[in-house]
Structure 1
Amino acid sequence: MTILRFSCKIKTQEQQPYVNPNLDPVLLVPGVGGSMLNAVDDRNGTEERVWVSVLAAECKMKTKLWSRYNPSTGKTESLDPNTRIMVPGDRNGLYAIDNLDPDLLIGSESVYYFHDMIIQMLKWGYQEGKTLFGFGFDFRQSNRLQETMDRLAAKLESVYNAAGGKKIDIITHSMGGLLVKCFMCLHSDIFEKYVKNWIAICAPFQGK
């Protein structure tokens, strides 16, 4: 007697994440130490993360991130003349302010910054690149650095356009609040054009 066996694979439809189309766009801005920093070697273009890099912290801090203030440029510059520090812009700016050291497998929650907030906001219906964005910055620099102000102005415009002309809700933490306050004072016209609400968490407005 021959027994025929048939296997049937039922393809289940992949569940799509919940999306709320009525949400205003949100821009997350971290504080001191809350942005990844990459070192770019201007000689060959290679790029590596130097903040945060727990497993190679001492070596990379000394060789790439140690810096001094240059009064002629108004910038804090690496002691290595061939090194340029930059903030990665992946995932619409969220990558640099999410998990600050993705290579750390054990105890990774110790280097979470906006990670838990991002996860929760995605559950609420926010979308990366549509209604959820990040703005990491080189926290070694002055908040008044024109380069940072220009980057923030460009970021606000790009978020506004990506969200279909909706004004932006900004959420800042710590020194991120001082950065946005500085921008608001220096570029009030741009701030009023693109920003709807601003929530400042633990901002040291009184210098504390």
Structure 2
Amino acid sequence: MDLVAAETAAAAFLQALGVGLESEHLRATPRRMARAWAEMLTARPFEMTTFPNEEGYDELVLARDIPFRSVCEHHLLPFTGRACVAYLPGDRILGLSKLARVVEHFSCRPQTQERLTKQVADLLQEELEPRAVGVVMSAEHSCMTLRGVQATGSSTVTSSLLGELRNDPRSRAEFMALAGVNR
């Protein structure tokens, strides 16, 4: 990441839009912009810490209301929301904080919500080999609320269901109820 080049580009961008950088309030804005974007686009490193499922736990493991933020790859405007991530364990279980870390990992890049939802589900399926994975994400997109249609207060909901959560209607209904999809 080249913060000096990003700061230069931010200054040029603002000036091209007619924003003068002469005032004391705006003089350091290109530097702050570069640092803010660098922070938004950088995920913290993590390892998928898994453990043997020695107890044979066979019910849903679910974390909901995981906050996330990303940037729409079409307009580079932020979208923010909450995720619900669940899995039905197989031979291994996951350290609980890793459910939120996976969401953060994929959200720290220009993204679509649809792809983000699928990436989280696919990684859990690949790393854990569980009996099922479910991800539901609800987000407000500023590309919809601040420009264009200006649909303030609207949210977009996406889901990715794998294994038993996709194939078994009862398991799917249980996940959706616990995820709070119908609230």
TM-score normalised according to structure 2 size? 0.31
Q: Which protein has the bigger strand share? A: 2
Q: Which protein has the bigger helix share? A: 2
User: Which entry has the higher C-alpha Rg, 1 or 2?
Assistant: 1
TM-score normalised according to structure 1 size? 0.28
